[in-house]
Chains A and B, each alone.
Chain A
Amino acid sequence: MASSSTPLLQGTLDLIVLQLLHAEPTNGYDLALRIQNTTGEVLAVPAGSLYPALYRLEQRGLIRGAWQATDSGRRAKVYSLTRAGISHLNNQREAWHRFSGALTAILRVS
């Protein structure tokens, strides 16, 4: 994982984490890789931001972590969305679409 080429907008990390965990429950390491791969390495979330975000979301009851055995016989903490997390994600997604639409409209002004 290279250092982040584009800094994350404030408040978007929660949305990224919730969306990717909604698509597929996974552990912290694979989540970090998936963020990087999905965005074509434009976004890279360092562990220093990712783990506090995961614990914060877990503490807010939006995601749930459970230890599971992996194929290699080790344990991994796999995070998935709770029902509250799904509803929070839907709200956040809608808010983001509204915000990005409004910002795009402003950026078209010449």
Chain B
Amino acid sequence: MMARAWLWLRSVLFRGRLDRDMDEEMSAHLRRATERFEASGLSSDAARTAAHREFGNVAAIKEEARDARGGRGLESIVADLRYGARGLSRTPFAALTMIVVFALGIGCNAALFLFISSLVNSPLPGMSRDNSLVRIRGIERRAGISVGRSSRIPSTATTRRSRRCFRPSPPGHRRTSCSM
């Protein structure tokens, strides 16, 4: 696992060196193929052409080999970020406006979320969180399917009669359901 992670990191960090290695490896392949064709009687030009024909499209093969080496996802993210940064630096006022609009939008959302969250989820000011308080929510089973419904007054009376559900829970334990 660590070895795989290192290989992936290597393909990202040492991309230049790995590319040079790949160039050298493929050039060596082409050179030896050319020598083989020359030895079979072809002129050096014809041998070079034959070697390239046999090898295939060098640029496309390099591209495929880079894909096989991995780390392309991160490379393309970095390239996209650079492209974006260059675009923004060309139009600084538009970039500034966008940043301010985004900052205001995110700030408003965060403030609203905090407000609603403290209103709904936290106890009212001056009240401590009391474990003996429970939220009563009715679930009705119709033909084997559970259907949520809000509690009505009569069922609240039934709930009051059933004291079994309202024994204090042990510390750290939260009762999630109780049938009556």
A residues at B contact (CB < 8 Å): 1, 27-29, 32, 46-48, 51-53, 55-56, 58-61, 67, 74-77, 84
- Roughly how many angstroms separate A16 CA and B57 CA in the complex, as a whole number? 23
Q: Which of A48, A59, A76 contacts B69 (CB 8 A)?
A: A59
Chain A residues contacting B64 (CB-CB under 8 Å) are 48, 51-52
Contact: B56 with A29, CB < 8 Å? no
B130 at the interface (CB under 8 A from A): no
Contact: A29 with B33, CB < 8 Å? yes
Contact: B28 with A52, CB < 8 Å? no
Known contacts: A51-B26, A55-B68, A56-B68. The answer to whether A61 contacts B7 by CB under 8 A is: yes
Contact with A along B9-33 (1 / 0, CB 8 A): 0010000000001101110110011
Within 8 A of A (CB), among B1-56: 3-4, 7-8, 11, 21-22, 24-26, 28-29, 32-33, 54-56
A-B contacts at CB below 8 angstroms, number: 68
Chain B residues contacting A27 (CB-CB under 8 Å) are 25, 28
12 inter-chain pairs at a CB distance below 8 angstroms, sorted by A residue, are: A27-B25, A48-B56, A48-B61, A51-B61, A51-B68, A52-B61, A52-B67, A58-B7, A59-B11, A59-B70, A61-B7, A75-B28
Q: How many residues of B contact A (CB 8 A)?
A: 26
Chain A residues contacting B3 (CB-CB under 8 Å) are 61, 84
B60 at the interface (CB under 8 A from A): yes
Residue in chain B with minimal CB distance to A84: B3
B65 at the interface (CB under 8 A from A): yes
Q: Which of B22, B28, B70 contacts A74 (CB 8 A)?
A: B28
Residue in chain A with minimal CB distance to B67: A52
Chain B residues contacting A74 (CB-CB under 8 Å) are 28
Residue in chain B with minimal CB distance to A57: B68
Chain B residues contacting A46 (CB-CB under 8 Å) are 54-56
- Roughly how many angstroms separate A97 CA and B42 CA in the complex, as a whole number? 43
Contact: B56 with A47, CB < 8 Å? yes
Contact: B57 with A77, CB < 8 Å? no
Known contacts: A52-B68, A59-B68. The answer to whether A29 contacts B32 by CB under 8 A is: yes
Contact: A52 with B25, CB < 8 Å? no
Min CB distance A24 to B, Å, is: 17
Contact: A55 with B65, CB < 8 Å? yes
Q: Which of B8, B33, B55, B65 contacts A52 (CB 8 A)?
A: B65
- Roughly how many angstroms separate A58 CA and B8 CA in the complex, as a whole number? 10
Residue in chain A with minimal CB distance to B6: A61
- Roughly how many angstroms separate A77 CA and B61 CA in the complex, as a whole number? 17
